[in-house]
């Protein structure tokens, strides 16, 4: 990495439960002595798992990371609900039925949650209404009404019975573990709420963990206590986008935002993938993010020094 430039790159971070996504970035700001740190996709305070953090100029890549499909594992507890949709929140509703819910019943309702569906986000969320977070309005006793949004759940897997969590504020009929592959904007708390409704009951969630964003895995992520300068990765080493090498003249062209005809090695954009090409200089330094269409590279943003 060019020592003449400020630090820039991506970090795969395994966020622990109980820390906000924003606070999880504090050690990164301290290590690299910069406020220019961002992340792709927030996780709930009580959720854990993969966050892709970006330092410096690489923050411009975050929208393309965030657009990737996500994988989550989680525990659903049927029989009661809370104001936060979490297992230890203030009790909202208790099901009078105490009989267990069968695996057969659960498997029967899963297909209706696969594919493109409408989902209403939880009231306690970061979605803004008139500039105010829905969760902040709820804490002040205000009513919120969030509109349904289109999301896509590619797969929803039943992974067996689970134990009741400590601190549950209601009586649980049955607990199960699931995992799912889903689009950006999916709320697992809302998914469990809606699954419970399909089962004729109410529900709450615990143990939400994000294990994947696109092709990036939490297995390759670093814990906060293990963060160091070596945790910073070059985007081209961890993002699954085509990579091209530019001449000095071409680097200057993309710096000026000029489109260019590409007649060197072929560029293949995978079906359904973002139209993104990472452009390096002759020294292997990432200089730009470009789109590729009709044989032409068009700069989207410049990542080199000005």
Tell me the CATH number at 249.
2.30.130.10
256 in a domain, yes or no? yes
Lowest mean pLDDT among 3-17, 43-57, 126-140: 126-140
Query: Are the C-beta atoms of 36 and 59 separated by less than 8 Å?
Result: yes
Question: Residue 131 gets which letter from DSSP?
Answer: T
Query: pTM (2 decimals)?
Result: 0.90
102 in a domain, yes or no? yes
Q: Are residues 273 and 254 in the same domain?
A: yes
Question: Nearest Cα to 52, choosing from 70, 69, 40, 36?
Answer: 40
Q: Are residues 190 and 122 in the same domain?
A: yes
145 in a domain, yes or no? yes
Please give the Cα distance from 269 to 267 (Å, whole number): 7
Lowest mean pLDDT among 73-87, 140-154, 269-283: 140-154
Q: Are residues 173 and 293 in the same domain?
A: no
> Quick one: how far is CA 80 from the chain centroid?
27
Please give the Cα distance from 125 to 277 (Å, whole number): 34
Number of domains in the chain: 3
1 in a domain, yes or no? no
183 in a domain, yes or no? yes
Q: Are residues 88 and 209 in the same domain?
A: yes
3 in a domain, yes or no? no
Question: Residue 256 gets which letter from DSSP?
Answer: T
Average pLDDT over residues 155-174: 97
**Does 243 score more than 50 pLDDT?**
yes
Q: State pLDDT tens for residues 46-96.
A: 999 999 999 999 999 998 888 889 999 999 999 999 999 999 999 999 999
164 Cβ partners below 8 Å, 6+ apart?
77, 172, 175
Domain around 225: 9-68+214-238
Q: Which residues are catalytic?
A: 44
> Quick one: how far is CA 181 from the chain centroid?
11
29 in a domain, yes or no? yes
Percent of the chain with pLDDT over 90: 70
């Amino acid at each position: 990495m060019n020592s003449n430039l400020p630090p820039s790159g991506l970090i795969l971070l395994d966020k622990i439960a109980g820390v906000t996504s924003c606070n999880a970035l504090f050690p990164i700001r301290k290590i690299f002595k910069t406020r220019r740190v961002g992340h792709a996709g927030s996780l709930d305070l009580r959720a854990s798992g993969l966050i892709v953090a970006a330092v410096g100029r690489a923050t411009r890549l975050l929208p393309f990371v965030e657009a990737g499909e996500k994988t989550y594992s989680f525990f659903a507890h049927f029989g009661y609900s809370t104001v936060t949709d979490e297992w230890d929140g203030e009790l909202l509703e208790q099901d009078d039925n105490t009989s267990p819910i069968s695996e057969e019943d659960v498997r029967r309702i899963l297909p209706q949650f696969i594919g493109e569906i409408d989902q209403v986000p939880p009231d306690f969320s970061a979605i803004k209404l008139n500039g105010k977070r829905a969760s902040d309005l709820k804490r002040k006793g205000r009513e919120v009404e969030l509109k349904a949004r289109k999301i896509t759940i590619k797969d929803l897997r039943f992974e067996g019975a689970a134990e009741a969590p400590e601190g549950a504020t209601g009586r649980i009929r049955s607990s199960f573990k699931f995992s799912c592959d889903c689009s950006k904007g999916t709320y697992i708390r809302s998914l469990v709420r809606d699954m419970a409704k399909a089962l004729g009951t109410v529900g709450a969630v615990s143990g939400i963990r994000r294990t994947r964003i696109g092709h990036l895995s939490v297995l390759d992520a670093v814990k906060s206590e293990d963060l160091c300068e070596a945790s910073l990765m070059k985007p081209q080493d961890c993002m699954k986008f085509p990579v091209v090498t530019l001449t000095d003249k071409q680097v200057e062209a993309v710096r000026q935002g000029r489109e260019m005809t590409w007649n060197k090695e072929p560029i293949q954009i995978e079906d359904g993938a973002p139209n993104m090409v990472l452009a390096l200089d002759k020294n292997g330094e990432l200089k730009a993010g470009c789109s590729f269409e009709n044989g032409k590279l068009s700069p989207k943003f410049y990542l080199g020094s000005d």
